[in-house]
Amino acid sequence: MTQSPLTELDAVLAIARWGKFRAAALELGMSTSALSNAVNKLERRLGVRLFNRTTRSVSLTEAGQNFIAQVGPALQDIHDAIEAARSQQATPSGTLRINAFPTAAREIFGTLVLPFLQRYPQVHVDVVTEGRLVDIVAGGFDLGVRSADLVPADMIAIPIGAARRNVVVGTPAYFEAHGRPAIPQDLAKHACFRVRLPNGAIHRWPFEKDGRSVHIDVTGPATLDEATLARTAALASCGLTLAMESDVREDIEQSRLEAVLEDWTPTMPPLCLYYPSRRNPTAAFKAFVDFARKRPGGGAARRA
C-alpha cells in the first residue's frame, strides 16, 4: 500500500474491523510491522492509546471507540471524493484488489487478468486467493470471483465463463495396473486423494446421472488441502483425484491423464465476477468490468 496522509487512519479502521493486525495488513497491502508503526505514530501524535494489545487479541480502548465513531464517516467521505476524482481519469491506473477461490483464480488469470494488464499496463491487479467465502466489502476488495450460486444476493454479477465440471483422473499406467471404475461406488477399490475444504470438512466426491445423485467419501493414501497437490499425486500414478476440468485439460489432451466416470460428472454453475454497486467507480474499475463483459463467455451485469 502506498503511504499517504490517510494511511494511519486507514490502518486504525482496518484493525478495528478485523480485530487482528495480520488480517488488517493483508487488506491494506502492508506488512504487519508497517501497520503497527502507523498506529504507533498516530497514538503518539494523539497522546492516547487507541488499542489494547495482547499476544492473542486486539481491542479498541474507550478513546479508540470514540475516535473511530467520529473519524470513520469522515474518512469514508474522503475516500468517496478520491474515487470520484479518479473516475475522471482518461487512462485507467491504480490498484484493483480481487478475491477469488484458488481454482477460479487459475481459470481467470490467463484468460482475463493477464490480457487486461497487457491492454492497461498502468493498472496493478492484486489477486488474493482464499477457499473460504469472504465479504469483499469488509475485506477491502474491489471485486470477487465465485461460482454463480455462491455470489451474495446484494451484489452485481457478470458471468465470465461457460459451465464447469469436475473430472476423476488418473494416469494410463495407473489404470493399466488397477483397472477403471465404471460407477462411482467402484472408487472404494481405488486409491483416491482426498481434499480438505476450508472449513475442515473432507470433500465428498459428487456424482449425478439420470436424475440420481450420490456423494462418495473416498479413501486413499493422503488427505490434502490444496487441489494442485492432488494433481501432482495423480500424475505420479499414485492414485485418482477429482479435479476441475480446467486444471487438468492440458494433461488430458497430452495423454498424461485420462478421465473416467465422465457420464457421472455433472456440470457446475459458471464463474461470476461480482461487485457492490458503486457511485464513483475508478477508471481502472470501469475498464476491468467492461473488459470482463466483452471477453468470450462474458455477459451483461445483473443482480445476483
Task: Dump pLDDT digits (tens) for 244-267.
Answer: 998 899 999 999 999 999 999 988
Q: What percentage of the chain carries pLDDT values higher than 70?
A: 92
pLDDT number for residue 8: 87
- Residue 246: count of CB within 10 angstroms of its CB: 18
Checking if the pLDDT of 124 tops 70, the result is yes
Q: pLDDT-derived band of residue 21, with 50, 70 and 90 as boundaries? A: confident
Checking if the pLDDT of 3 tops 60, the result is no
Q: pLDDT-derived band of residue 1, with 50, 70 and 90 as boundaries? A: very low
CA dist., res. 178 & res. 157, Å (int): 44
Mean pLDDT in residue range 80-96: 75
pLDDT number for residue 218: 94
Question: Quick check: do 94-162+270-303 and 164-268 share a fold?
Answer: yes
pLDDT number for residue 164: 87
Cell numbers at residue 243, please?
Answer: 479435479
Whether pTM > 0.75 for this model: the answer is: no
Checking if the pLDDT of 201 tops 80, the result is yes
Domain made up of 94-162+270-303: CATH architecture: 3-Layer(aba) Sandwich (3.40)
pLDDT number for residue 301: 57
**Extended beta strands in 79-202, E state:** 94-100, 123-129, 143-147, 156-159, 164-170, 194-195
pLDDT number for residue 139: 84
Non-local CB neighbours of 52 within 8 Å, separated by 6+ positions:
58, 59, 60, 61
Residue 73 half-sphere exposure toward CB, CA atoms < 13 A:
3
Q: Where are the domains of the chain?
A: 7-83, 94-162+270-303, 164-268
| Packing angle of the helix pair 7-18, 21-28 (nearest 10 deg) | 130
CATH class of 164-268: alpha beta
Q: pLDDT-derived band of residue 163, with 50, 70 and 90 as boundaries? A: confident
Helix and strand element counts for the chain (H, E): 10, 16
Contact between 126 and 94 under an 8 Å Cβ cutoff? The reply is no
Cα distances from 173 to residues 74, 180, 185, 256, in angstroms, run 64, 11, 21, 9
CATH assignment, 7-83: 1.10.10.10
Checking if the pLDDT of 176 tops 80, the result is yes
Cell numbers at residue 155, please?
Answer: 451484489
Looking at residue 253, its amino acid is E
Checking if the pLDDT of 296 tops 90, the result is no
CA dist., res. 289 & res. 156, Å (int): 11
Q: pLDDT-derived band of residue 304, with 50, 70 and 90 as boundaries? A: low
Q: Which residue has the higher pLDDT, 237 or 16?
A: 237
